[in-house]
Amino acid sequence: MRRLGEVVRTAQGVAVVRSPDDTMPDIGTPVVDEELTEWGRVVDVFGPVERPYLAVSPTEGVRLATLVGSPVYTRE
């Protein structure tokens, strides 16, 4: 499991995740929580190269507002 960052906000139906470093996942990478429950997929990477933002589209039924401030991961 590799940390992708932390959910900093929600906007237009996606979660915005701030990456802790310059590592950028591929579009379509599954995103999981600390319990390895998949809750979305990366749909866009934007912002500064040193510490990009990730737009994550949630899986059906996921309430985005509850994720703000939460760390997110990908399986590796």
Give 12-70 pLDDT, tens digit per residue: 999 999 999 998 899 999 999 999 999 999 999 999 999 999 999 999 888 888 889 99
- How far does Cα 12 stand from its chain's mean position? 14
pLDDT reported for residue 18: 96
**Burial 37-73, CB ≥16 within 10 A → b, else e:** eebbbbeebeeeeeebbbbbbbeeebebeebeeeebb
Average pLDDT over residues 4-19: 95
Q: How many CB atoms lie within 10 A of CB 16?
A: 21
Q: Which residue type occupies 25? A: P
Contact between 49 and 22 (Cβ < 8 Å) = yes
pTM of the complete model: 0.91
Contact between 67 and 54 (Cβ < 8 Å) = no
Which domains, and CATH codes, for the chain? 2-61 (2.40.10.230)
Average pLDDT, whole number, for the chain? 93
